[in-house]
Each structure stands twice: as C-alpha cells, then as structure tokens.
Amino acid sequence: MTAEAILFYVFGALAVVSALGMVLNLRNTVASAMSLVVTMVSLGAIYLLLEAYLVAAIQIMVYGGAIVVLFLFVVMLLNLSTDEFPPGKQRLIKLAFVIAGVAILAQVLIALGQDPLLTAQPEAVPEGFGGYRQLGLSLYTDYVLLVEMASLLLLAAIVGALILAKRKID
Amino acid sequence: MLPMDHVIALSAILFTIGVLGVATRRNLIVMLMSIELMLNAANLAFVGFNRIWSQVEGVPAIDGQIFVLMVITVAAAEVAVGLGILLSMFRNRDSVNVEEVNLLKW
Amino acid sequence: MPIEPIVKVLFIFAVMVMGLAPIITWIERKQSAVMQDRIGANRADLGGVTLLGLFHPAADVIKLFTKEDVVPAGANRVMHLISPLIAAVPAIIAFAVIPYGGVYQFGDTTLNLVGADIDWGLLYIFAIGSIAAYGTVIAGWSSNNNWSMLGGLRASAQMISYEVTMGLTVVGIFMVFETLRLSDMALAQDTSFRLFGFLDLYFGLDGWLIDHVRLPAWGIFYQPLGFLMFLAAIMAENKRPPFDIPEGESEIIAGYHLEYSGMRFGLFFMSEFIEIIIIAALTATIFLGGWAVPWFSTDWIIGTLSPWMGVGFATALCILIHFSTFMLKVFFMIWVQMLLRWSLPRFRYDQVMSLCWKILLPLSIANIFVTGLVLLWVKG
C-alpha cells in the first residue's frame, strides 16, 4: 500500500461522505453547500494524485472558490438557509429510485472490477504531463477553437444571468 | 501506484449519489448542487482515463484534461444561469420547492 | 523518516507564523503611533521593564485566551466553530511555496530552502486564497446577526472579485519570467541588466555608462504597473484598510467577526496578520527579487568569500545573507502595507467594486497586451 494509494482512499472516502452529507441534509442548505466544498477540494486532491496538476488547481479555484460561493451567495441573499418542506406523498417512488440506483451502481462496480484495462497498472507518466506548459500549448494550438467557443459560451451565460436576475427589463 | 478501477468506481459512486440527489430532493438549490456533483464525477472519469492513456509514443496526451477544462467552463456558465432562473422563480412564488412550479401539469 | 520536510514545516510554523505575527501587531501599534505623533502602547511590563511595548503581543495573547467564549443564541454552533479555522488554515499553508533561499550545494547534498517546490506554486497560492473566502462568509452567516450577515456578504463579493484581478495582474510577470515556480522566479531575479542596454541593441552605441549602469533584474522594473495593481488586488483580498468594508468599524460595527470573542476572534485577527506576511513575502518574491541580493549574484558572493573561509562556510554565510535579505524585503513590504493602512480612508463599497471591475480588470488586460507586444519585439 503506497502512500499514494492510502491518500487516494482517504480523499475518496471524504468525497463520498461529504457528497452523501450534501444530498441527505434535510434541514440546512448552507451545510449542504459546505459539504459540496469538501467534495470539490477532495476531488482536487485526487486529481493531484492522478498527476493532473493544472486541472487540480483550476478545480479548487473555480469550483471550490467561485461556483459554490455563488451558491452560498444566493442562499444567504434569499435567506433560504433552512429547508422546511413537509414529507412528500411520493416516498415509495423515491425509495424505488434509490434501490434501482444502488442496484445499477453495484452492477457497474462489479463490471469495473473485472475489466482488464482498469485493473492493470498504469504506465509511468511522460515528462511534462499535466503541467501548465503542455496544457497551454495544446489549448492554443490544437484546441484553439474550443477556447473561442468557451469564451462565447461564457459571454452568453453572463448576458443570460444578468437578464434573468433583473427585476424588470427597462 | 493508484488502483485505476477504484478511481473509476469512485466516479461511478459519486455520479449515482448525484443522480439520486436530483431524483429525490425537491429543493432546487440541492438539485443544482447534485448536478454539479454529477459533472464532477464525469471530470474524475476523464482525468482517470487520461492517466491510463497518458502518452502517444512518448508524447504526453492531455486531451482528457482539456475536456475537463471545458466541462468546468460549462458548469460555471450553467450555475450562473441556473441561479438566475432560481432567483426569478423565488421572486414569483417565494419558494424554491420544485413541486410548486406545476402550472403546466395536466 | 523524511527529516527535511519536518524541519521546514517546524521552521515555517515557529518562525514565520508564531514568531512574526505577534511582532506585526507590535509594528502596527508602534508605526501607527509614530505616524500619528503619539507614543502608542507601552504599559505592559515584566517587573517594571516595558521594553518599548514589546510585551504587548504576549499580553494580547493572554487576554484573548482568558476571555469568555460567547456563541450567540440562535447561531449555528458548528459553523460558528469552524469558520475561524477556515479563515486561518489557508493563510498558514500558503507559506509552503515561498522560497526563503536558493538552491545550495554542500558537497554532494543539495539544500533547497523551499517548503514544497511545486511547479505551479503561484497557482497554488491563488487556489488556497480562494478557499479562504469561506471563512468570512460562513462567519457572517452563522452569527445570526444583521450586521455580521452584511459584512459576510460584502466580504464574499469583494474577495471573489479581487481573486480574478489578482490572477490577471501576475500574468505579465508570468510572461516575463516564463515560470510559475516561485523558486525559479527568485532565481531569475538574481542577475542584473543594463539600464541603457536598448541603446546598444538598437542603435549600436557604446560607452562606459551603457555597460556599467545596471539595475537588478527585479520584477518591479519589468512590470511596474503590475506591481501596483497586484498590491492593490491582494490588499483588497486580505480585507485590510482601505478595503476593510467587510469589517467597517464605523458602519456595521465589526462586520463578520462581530459575534466572536476570545481565542476565536484571536484566530481571525491572527489570520489577517498572517496574510499580511504572506502578501509581503509573495510581493517580495515576485516583484522585489526574493532572496536575491541586488547587484551581487549568488556565484559572486560564494566566489568572493571562498578564498577566505572555504566553500562550505562561504555557502553557509551566503544562506544567511540571502535569508536576511529576504526578511528585510518582507519587513519593507509590511511597513508599506502599514503605511497604506494608516494613511488612506476607507473606500465605499461601490468604489471598491468599481475599482476592481472597471479599473483594475481592463488595466491588467491592457498590461498583458502591452507586455506581449514588448516581449515579441525584444525576443524577435
């Protein structure tokens, strides 16, 4: 059991526990958002273990530092912090959903454990893998169109969010 | 070395938790956060597979991580617009319970 | 048993965090007193010896430890408990990537005076800084108090706005030094360049003045506008005056740390001062040359000292010289921040936001553009 594997299991367990904490928390929305932050940061740590360094930094900065702050902002502005919905009349359907979901997950996990590609050891990583130089080179030579499309998408999102959040369009 | 099947298994578990979150909860904010969790699970799968196929004849191949950057961009855009929709819905009905948005239900 | 990282961690904790932060509280009191033409705090004594008020940091710590710990009624106890930790931990772990010295050879062992020499060190500091925003937000929300909530909301908006600007202002320096590794940045500033070299390169002139007037190759000479913008953005990130809208003492009582007393408030207080040290260390590393002595490169120092005391002792003395230079620059930047804190009035909230989005963001993008043009011109 190398140190990497131990760290992966620790962060993986933390990610699963905080994801469950986010979904199962029935009273406090802010606590759900904080559990989501813990999930994001542990996933960032797992990306570091998988030698994707720039992606890990961007995950913590963008997901953990901006997107969930946006959630918290909306929750605090609208004072939505407590969840007081009465129990629904569809409990059986939800239970069926959960059982079906867990069954499918069990099937997927069994299939993953028998796959020869995944159970083999991954080969050593080449020099410069996952660093910002390689990603920057690739982004601006092979995938430059993706960068332009991403900027257009973000522009559309900014305009859309502005219009949706205005009180009246004058 | 990391056990790669456990990495993809973790991605599957997180995705399932996200799907069950969207299917079970009625609070729109928790549903949006569960969608973010699903996107993160997909990102983990991308990075995991990129680690397996990390080179093409000695040249590093980081296409999976480019995908992840694009997914993070799309997720950020979607959260902004989604929270805008949530704000409009809250202003109209003073609640974020999705079961109350049922005017089009037959 | 990896002894080297443990020694580095202990050094960072003992010297930089626990040692410097109380000294900075003393510096703040004494510098503000000198600037305002008064004596300052000098009553704390130990058997009649007041020692210029240097016992006040210890007195402050004792006072904060012994105060009653109050959690307001109706507050969320768990969030109220963990938010000082979320504010303090990112400030402390950002010290891991700051280079306190260069790379030194002792026979066959290399000594690298960085806690963690990661390739994307600057990005690590920004990622950690974005987590620190949660401390203030959750503190403001969990206190069940109008003024705290206002402070927390203002803090979150201010911090996430200035993170964007902070990242863009250092892109210029990133383009000049072509690395994000902080130890490589400090190493690249270890030389000097000719101030009038452009006369030689483009006009073919020659002269003693052109060859011998040299400036140290510091980031501030390559990117002066970047330095000013980075200092503004990172001081706004730290919520220090003049950007202390979240804890605006005359408007919303004490903002997000209103309902905190005793050591929890002490942790917020300490985290702000530890961030002052981080700002000083980061600015010193990126813009002021880090551990490099101006005009005297490492090889020159070791080369001149070796004939007198041998290479081993010369390297040790060089380590001392470099570390003292770094600490000198850190203290200089702390002095500059204290100067700015005690002379500028507080910005209004809309002024803070328009400074970020309408002034600093376009200026930093223009800075990147101009830097790119100049680099293209200079490097062919």
Q: What is the pTM of this model?
A: 0.91
CA pair distance C133, C295, nearest whole angstrom: 39
- Express each pLDDT in C208-260 by its tens digit: 777 788 888 899 999 999 999 999 999 999 888 788 887 765 566 777 777 88
- Tokens at C3, concatenated: 């002894």
- Among B41-55, C101-115, C277-291, whose mean pLDDT is lowest? C101-115
pLDDT score recorded for residue C171? 93
Q: Would residue C17 count as lying in a domain?
A: no
Angle between helices B4-24 and A3-24 (to 10 degrees): 10
3-state DSSP helix/strand/coil % of chain A, to nearest 5: 75, 0, 25
CA pair distance C177, C171, nearest whole angstrom: 10
- Express each pLDDT in C170-213 by its tens digit: 999 999 999 999 999 999 998 888 887 777 777 777 777 777 88
CA pair distance C158, C352, nearest whole angstrom: 8
Q: Average pLDDT of B82-101?
A: 86
Residue C93 phi, psi dihedral angles, 5° rounding: -75, -10
- Express each pLDDT in C277-309 by its tens digit: 999 999 999 999 889 998 888 888 888 888 888
**CB-neighbour burial class of residue C186 (10 A; exposed 0-12, middle 13-18, buried 19+):** buried
pLDDT > 90? residue B31: yes
Answer for the pair A56, A44: CB distance below 8 angstroms, yes or no. Answer: yes
Q: Would residue C62 count as lying in a domain?
A: no
- Show residues of chain B in contact with A62, CB under 8 Å: 72, 76
Percent of chain B with pLDDT over 70: 100
3-state DSSP helix/strand/coil % of chain B, to nearest 5: 75, 5, 20
Residue A88 CB neighbours (<10 A) = 12
A164 near B CB under 8 A: yes
Domain boundaries, chain B: 4-93
Q: Among residues B23, B47, C259, which one has the least CA distance to residue A102?
A: B23
Residue type, B47: V
- Show residues of chain A in contact with C76, CB under 8 Å: 28, 30-31
- Partners for A (CB, 8 Å, 3+ pairs)? B, C
CB burial string C335-371: b at 16+ within 10 A, e below: eebbebbeeeebbebeebbebbeeebbebbeebbeeb
Q: Average pLDDT of B30-50?
A: 95
- Express each pLDDT in C321-375 by its tens digit: 999 999 999 999 999 999 999 999 888 888 999 999 999 999 999 999 999 999 9
Q: Would residue C24 count as lying in a domain?
A: no
Q: Among residues B99, B34, B102, B6, which one has the least CA distance to residue A101?
A: B34
The secondary structure of C260-291, three-state, reads CCCHHHHHHHHHHHHHHHHHHHHHHHHCCCCC
Domain count, chain C: 1
What is the 8-class DSSP label of residue C282? H
Contact A94 B24 (CB under 8 A): yes
- Tokens at A59, concatenated: 């995950």
Q: Would residue C275 count as lying in a domain?
A: yes
Q: Would residue C59 count as lying in a domain?
A: no
- DSSP H or E stretch at residue C82: helix C77-93
Residues of chain C whose C-beta is under 8 A from some C-beta in A?
76, 78-79, 118-120, 123-124, 126-131, 133-134, 137-138, 140-142, 149, 152-153, 156-157, 160, 163, 180
CA pair distance A44, B47, nearest whole angstrom: 11
Q: Would residue C361 count as lying in a domain?
A: yes
Contact B47 A47 (CB under 8 A): yes
CA pair distance B2, C349, nearest whole angstrom: 48
Contact A54 B27 (CB under 8 A): no
- Show residues of chain B in contact with A66, CB under 8 Å: 76
CA pair distance C86, C88, nearest whole angstrom: 6
What is the ipTM for the molecules in this complex? 0.92
Helix (H, G, I), strand (E, B), or coil: what is residue A26? Answer: coil
Question: What top-level class would CATH report for the domain B4-93?
Answer: mainly alpha
CA pair distance C373, B51, nearest whole angstrom: 37
Helix (H, G, I), strand (E, B), or coil: what is residue B27? Answer: strand
CA pair distance B73, C86, nearest whole angstrom: 26
Residue B23 CB neighbours (<10 A) = 16
CA pair distance A159, A155, nearest whole angstrom: 6
Contact A53 C163 (CB under 8 A): no
CA pair distance A120, B50, nearest whole angstrom: 15
Q: Degrees (nearest 5) of the Cα angle C113, C115, C119?
A: 95
- Show residues of chain C in contact with A31, CB under 8 Å: 76, 78-79
For domain A3-96, the CATH architecture is: Up-down Bundle (1.20)
pLDDT score recorded for residue C115? 85
Contact A150 B73 (CB under 8 A): yes
Helix (H, G, I), strand (E, B), or coil: what is residue C99? Answer: strand
Length of chain A: 170
Per-residue pLDDT of chain A (170 residues; tens, 9 = 90+): 788 899 999 999 999 999 999 998 878 888 999 999 999 999 999 999 999 999 999 999 999 999 999 999 888 888 776 666 655 667 888 888 899 999 999 999 999 888 888 777 777 777 778 888 889 998 999 999 999 999 999 999 999 988 887 777 65
Closest CA of chain A from B101, distance in Å = 14
- Tokens at A80, concatenated: 């939505």
